Amino acid sequence: MYKSYYGLQEKPFNLLPDPDYLYMSTGHENAASHLEYAIAENKGFVVITGEVGAGKTTLVNHLLRTVPDTLHVAIINQTDIDPAQLLHLAAEEFELPTAALDKSELLSALHTYLIGTYARRERALLLIDEAQNLPDNTLETLRMLSNLEAEKQHLLQIVLVGQPELRDKLRQPHLRQLAQRISVHCHLDRLSPEDVQHYIDHRLTVAAGGKLENRLFTPEAVELVARYAHGIPRLINNLCDTALVYGFADEKKVIDAALVESVIAARRADGLLDVIDREEEEEKKKKAASEGDATSPGDEPGGSPAARTTTRPTPTTASAAPDNSRIIALEQRLASLESLVRHLDVQITGIDQQRRERDQLLVEMLQVVKHNIERRLNLAAIVLRQHTDQPRNQPAPNQAAHNKPHRPEKVTAAATGSAAAPPAAGDQSDNTTPPRSDAAAGKPRSWFRRRT
């Protein structure tokens, strides 16, 4: 929607784990170094943890681009599975037949595959994302898989990627054997406020094709984004993408703090991404509890019930805070609705413009068709008029020659080779002169009509 308006080739703040948009902060560089070292040295168990939306999967996808062809990688993303399902998924990822195989047969097949890989001087890596959801018995099966070792090398390298809850799970006493096998562990922390500015510029530069002429976010807007998102890349992407949509709707080439505040207000009104609100409420509760414990009149020497009653808030004071909070919430809701209305107005205007252009094109096409039909009708009328103007009783030249009566030719003596006989009396030929009347010749009339 807003790509061409801001001079971008792609949407810069997608939530997909695209390695092209990976920003190497200090924490990301540290985690990447740990992963590269673990893969290069074939460490048996590797654990990468990080906050929700911190970019763990993006970092892993970036490193998988650089692994050699001799490293066979199996990736498992569905982690709410039992041990048998884990073995099935691992065998399928390594392209092994799994039909009608039980747990022991799957273990044997995986062991045979790993020995063959080791014999070819190749390695196998099992990477499990969202590992915090693995049940305890499935984690124990992973520990059993790590026992598949050669004399001087691990046959299978296992990398667990998960949220901070994975660390808490591995600290359980019954999983201490698995925890002792972890050779490399790194935690991916949130971005600092300075990194947030570089993170936003980096993603915009990549989306612009490697060259960003001007910053689209003001420093005040970036500071507000960093404070609200708490340095979590996924929340930063959500805020920045929505801010670009609002800026496009308001026809703003630069995203300022006021626009980001409207986005935050809309998120709060909808109940989405309320990280700051929840943390502020928890801090207020803790502060109120600590102050109440420290200044409670009952705990002080000489404190009395009467003194405790004087410190209670009046009903008017207690009801004023909810009223103010409701007013603030309504104002935020109205601000979000106004932004949404402006956004919808821009969309409707664009749709109406497209409809008008399409209708104009249709009208022009119909006019062309009408012109062609009229021209064909005119040509047909001219041809029809030419045919009707010709006389109906006048035969055509070839027809006149055909209808002319046939007359026998005069036979001469030269043609027959003998003298021609004199014509009989009373016989007249077309070639003889008609006889003149006696009166016209001055002779008496010598013939008469016989009466019977």
Nearest C-alpha neighbor of 43 from the set 167, 186, 229 = 186
Residue at which a domain ends, from 129, 156, 190: 190
| Contacts of range 252-260, beta carbons closer than 8 Å, 24 or more positions apart | 253/6, 253/216, 254/214, 254/215, 254/216, 254/217, 254/218, 255/216, 255/217, 255/218, 255/221, 256/218, 256/220, 256/221, 257/218, 257/220, 257/221, 257/223, 257/224, 259/221, 260/221, 260/224, 260/225, 260/228
Nearest C-alpha neighbor of 146 from the set 62, 239, 45 = 45
pLDDT of residue 348: 85
Structural domains in the chain (count): 2
Same domain for 237 and 120, yes or no, is no
Question: How many C-beta atoms lie closer than 10 Å to residue 88's C-beta?
Answer: 17
Residue at which a domain ends, from 154, 169, 190: 190
* Residue 76 neighbours by CB under 8 Å, 6+ apart: 86, 89, 90, 93, 126, 127, 128, 129
Same domain for 68 and 198, yes or no, is no
Residue 176 lies in a domain: yes
* Contact (CB, 8 A) for 156 and 148: yes
pLDDT of residue 390: 63
Tokens of 426: 């009373």
Question: How many C-beta atoms lie closer than 10 Å to residue 260's C-beta?
Answer: 25
* Residue 363 neighbours by CB under 8 Å, 6+ apart: none
Look-up of token digits 């681009």: 65
Same domain for 132 and 243, yes or no, is no
pLDDT of residue 449: 53
Same domain for 111 and 126, yes or no, is yes
Q: Is the Cα dihedral 85, 124, 179, 187 positive or negative?
A: negative
Same domain for 107 and 204, yes or no, is no
pLDDT of residue 337: 72
Same domain for 152 and 243, yes or no, is no
Same domain for 368 and 347, yes or no, is yes
Residue 107 lies in a domain: yes
pLDDT of residue 130: 92
Cα(88)–Cα(135) distance, integer angstroms? 16
Helical H segments across 154-274, by residue range: 165-170, 176-180, 193-207, 219-229, 233-250, 257-270
Same domain for 94 and 231, yes or no, is no
Cα(60)–Cα(263) distance, integer angstroms? 31
Residue 186 lies in a domain: yes
Cα(73)–Cα(129) distance, integer angstroms? 13
Residue 443 DSSP SS3? coil
pLDDT of residue 146: 86
Torsion of CA 12, 15, 21, 22, to 10 degrees: 150
Residue 37 DSSP SS3? helix
Residue 439 lies in a domain: no
Residue 132 lies in a domain: yes
Residue 364 lies in a domain: yes
Look-up of token digits 């020497």: 301
pLDDT tens series, the chain, 452 aa: 788 888 888 999 998 889 999 999 988 999 999 899 998 888 888 999 998 889 999 999 998 888 888 999 999 998 889 999 999 999 999 999 888 888 889 999 999 999 999 999 999 999 999 999 999 999 999 998 888 887 778 899 999 999 999 999 999 999 999 999 999 999 998 999 899 999 999 999 999 888 877 889 999 999 999 998 989 999 999 999 999 999 998 889 999 999 999 998 888 877 665 555 555 555 556 556 655 554 444 444 444 433 333 333 444 444 444 456 667 766 666 766 776 677 677 778 778 888 888 888 888 888 899 988 998 899 888 888 888 876 555 555 555 555 555 555 544 444 444 444 444 444 444 444 455 544 444 545 544 455 54
Tell me which amino acid residue 229 is.
A
Same domain for 168 and 109, yes or no, is yes
Residue at which a domain ends, from 321, 355, 376: 376
How far from chain centre, in Å, is Cα 351? 20
* DSSP conformation class of 382: H
Same domain for 38 and 156, yes or no, is yes
Report angle CA 121, 124, 130 to the nearest 5 degrees. Answer: 165
CATH number at residue 47: 3.40.50.300
* Contact (CB, 8 A) for 60 and 174: no
Residue 441 lies in a domain: no
Residues in the chain, total: 452
Parent domain of 85? 26-190
Residue 366 lies in a domain: yes
Same domain for 141 and 156, yes or no, is yes
Same domain for 144 and 90, yes or no, is yes
